[in-house]
Structure 1
Amino acid sequence: MESYRTLLVDAFTTEPLAGNAAGVVPDASGLSDEQMQAIARELSVSETAFLLPSTEADRKVRYFTPTQEVDLCGHATIAAHGALFDDGVIDAGSYTLETEVGVLEIQVTETGAVWMTQNAPQIFEVDLDYGAAADALGIDEAAFKDVGADLPPAYASTGLPFLILPVNFLEHLSAMEPDYDAVEALAAKHDTEGIYTFTFDAIGRSQDSTLHGRAFVPGLGVDEDPVTGTASGACGAYLDHFAAFDDEFPERMTFEQGHFLDRPGYVGVRVDGRTVQVGGDAVVSLDGSLTVPEYDEDEIIEA
């Protein structure tokens, strides 16, 4: 059995045990798919990033939830590069990252904040059954309809597709009691991986928070994600697409999330035409090693 250095890194925060925790394996060379999945299951955070050599970019990453591999994860990308910066492996500058959705550009600032450029957005309005959405999320459908005339429900993706649902007030967003089976079914009906709900009635609106969001992704094994980079990028592109601001579109937005899970975090979002970037800080909260057994395929029982 071999041991691999394994980190827990909190993304979109400067404080340990806040934001969104990601597992990071800085050198995953030699790990099989089964071993990566076992590590992600053992760490039991929403996603774990496994860094590998690449012939197409500076490095390659694979992302696993506790139950399956996923194509892209924003907070684990921020966490991984924040950890590399903390280790002195990378300096401030620009890097490339090979993912299952293509090669992405990464920028690291002098302070160690990390920005990732996501894929060009795909956005279109959807015909939503408001009653079904209200039942799935445990909320009065009027909370959706109050803002639906100006900001409609929509499919939005910058690498991972989400159903974007604006809500009128924070009190309604905070009171949601989702039926996760129904949430998964509603997301699947609209060919998305999860649902991102938000309100401009943010907790920190006096401190420049643009909105407060919540992300539900039970189909990927994550009932509620504390702070979600992929959904934030998709929502930023959505706001641009539907001209959400009366004045000039903000050069930078701040999306707050995770407060109702006691994991507050803040995602920086920049949208310039077809270019969408999300960014934030990251802090290592746990640094250790994990001993990983070999897996014999004959011993693996399919569910």
Structure 2
Amino acid sequence: MILRYAAFTADPSGGNPAGVVLDAAGHSDAEMLAIAAEVGYSETAFLFPEGGDRYTIRYFSPLAEVAFCGHATIATSVALGERTGSGTIHLTTKAGPVDVDVVAEPNGPVTATLTSPPAATRPADPADVEAALQALGYTPDDLDPAFPVHVANAGMNHLVVGLASRELLAALDYDFEALGALMAARDWITVHLFWAESPVIFHARNPFPPGGVVEDPATGAAAAAFTGYLRDLALIKEDDVVTIHQGADMGRPSLLTAAPLPDDQRIRVSGRAVRFTEI
């Protein structure tokens, strides 16, 4: 049975839709890829129960398997929480172990908080930045100098690009084929474009051509990588909570919160999810 959830929202018309298969035992890779292509969302999650609160989880875009997906993890964990209540779920992903704390309010919403794989960041190669900006339709003058362009990782690589204004973020109109080819060559899963409203409030957009999707309305893996980037560059304090507004420019507003774990390289990313039948 394929469930459909919108993650990082309490409104099924917002957030990032994900397919969820709660028991995928017996499914082959080819079958899972075919299901993901038929569902057509940026990712569908396939859960393999291992006993108790432990599961192996795999994620497929319509084009390929991905090692880790934040919004599909949140969607899957909320779906489990609706059935089993509050608790901690232990997931094995291809990017490493991911624990998810689920809080199910009586007759109320379910919130899931994932703990990402370790986050790290490094400066992007200047030639790669130039090529990415050309594909994205931006120039170096469009960048916010307070945020150097980096490749950040919390399970997957994301090019992190800070823009100088909200208007520039809203005006995104990129070359799908050119950016997709560059990202495939550099092993970037998304480009995390953002504008800083304040030191801890950000607006983001995430082109996702490697997955066959023009844009992701909510990207938990990118939120974790981005928060690690902010921490490593001392742009936030260790006890700050980062709020990310995403999806508004594509009509699917999403809300993500993220915070670094003290004395740990991992990041906690929180959100709700809601089940729907169709879009």
Instruction: Tell me the TM-score normalised to structure 1 length.
Output: 0.84
Pair 214,250 (structure 1): closer, same or farther in 2 beyond 3 Å: farther
- Per the TM alignment, residue 209 of structure 1 is displaced from its structure 2 partner at its CA by 7.1
Is 1:209–1:256's contact at 8 Å kept on the other side of the alignment? no
For the residue of structure 2 that corresponds to 1:54, the secondary structure is strand
- Per the TM alignment, residue 53 of structure 1 is displaced from its structure 2 partner at its CA by 2.0
Q: Which residue of 1 aligns with 2:120?
A: 122
Consecutive unaligned residues of structure 1, counting only runs of 5 or more, are 288-303
Pair 74,134 (structure 1): closer, same or farther in 2 beyond 3 Å: same
Is 1:184–1:194's contact at 8 Å kept on the other side of the alignment? no
Question: Which residue of 71, 81, 87 maps to 1:93?
Answer: 87
- Per the TM alignment, residue 255 of structure 1 is displaced from its structure 2 partner at its CA by 0.5
Amino acid of the structure 2 residue aligned with 1:109 = V
Question: Which residue of 50, 64, 86 maps to 1:68?
Answer: 64
Q: Which residue of 2 aligns with 1:105?
A: 99
> Where does 1:159-170 land on structure 2 (aligned, <5 Å)?
159-170=155-166
Is 1:133–1:141's contact at 8 Å kept on the other side of the alignment? no
Is 1:72–1:99's contact at 8 Å kept on the other side of the alignment? yes
Is 1:114–1:281's contact at 8 Å kept on the other side of the alignment? yes
**In 1, Cα distance between the equivalents of 2:59 and 2:155?**
13
Is 2:170–2:249's contact at 8 Å kept on the other side of the alignment? yes
Q: Which residue of 2 aligns with 1:217?
A: 208
- Per the TM alignment, residue 153 of structure 1 is displaced from its structure 2 partner at its CA by 0.5
Consecutive unaligned residues of structure 2, counting only runs of 5 or more, are none
Identity of aligned residues (%): 34
Question: Which residue of 248, 273, 276 maps to 1:259?
Answer: 248
1:232 aligns with 2:228: no
Q: Which residue of 2 aligns with 1:140?
A: 139
Instruction: Tell me the TM-score normalised to structure 2 length.
Output: 0.91
- Per the TM alignment, residue 56 of structure 1 is displaced from its structure 2 partner at its CA by 10
Q: Which residue of 2 aligns with 1:243?
A: 234
Which deviates the most, 93-102 or 232-241?
93-102
Which deviates the most, 54-63 or 273-282?
54-63
**In 2, Cα distance between the equivalents of 1:232 and 1:277?**
9
Q: Which residue of 2 aligns with 1:298?
A: none
**In 1, Cα distance between the equivalents of 2:147 and 2:230?**
8
1:270 aligns with 2:250: no
Is 1:165–1:198's contact at 8 Å kept on the other side of the alignment? yes
> Where does 1:8-87 land on structure 2 (aligned, <5 Å)?
8-54=4-50, 58-86=54-82
Q: Which residue of 2 aligns with 1:295?
A: none
Amino acid of the structure 2 residue aligned with 1:196 = H
Q: Which residue of 2 aligns with 1:151?
A: 147
- Per the TM alignment, residue 143 of structure 1 is displaced from its structure 2 partner at its CA by 1.0
- Per the TM alignment, residue 232 of structure 1 is displaced from its structure 2 partner at its CA by 0.6
**In 2, Cα distance between the equivalents of 1:186 and 1:37?**
23
Is 1:162–1:187's contact at 8 Å kept on the other side of the alignment? no
Is 2:200–2:241's contact at 8 Å kept on the other side of the alignment? no
Is 1:156–1:162's contact at 8 Å kept on the other side of the alignment? yes
**In 2, Cα distance between the equivalents of 1:84 and 1:55?**
14
1:179 aligns with 2:175: yes
Amino acid of the structure 1 residue aligned with 2:123 = E
| Cα RMSD after superposing both structures | 2.0
**In 1, Cα distance between the equivalents of 2:100 and 2:37?**
27
Amino acid of the structure 1 residue aligned with 2:115 = T
- Per the TM alignment, residue 37 of structure 1 is displaced from its structure 2 partner at its CA by 1.2
Pair 180,80 (structure 1): closer, same or farther in 2 beyond 3 Å: same
**In 2, Cα distance between the equivalents of 1:28 and 1:188?**
28
**What is the number of equivalent residue pairs in this alignment?**
271
Amino acid of the structure 1 residue aligned with 2:94 = E
- Per the TM alignment, residue 140 of structure 1 is displaced from its structure 2 partner at its CA by 3.5
Moved over 3 A (4+): 188-191
For the residue of structure 1 that corresponds to 2:172, the secondary structure is coil
**In 1, Cα distance between the equivalents of 2:75 and 2:157?**
21
1:283 aligns with 2:277: no
**In 1, Cα distance between the equivalents of 2:54 and 2:243?**
28
Which deviates the most, 30-39 or 47-56?
47-56
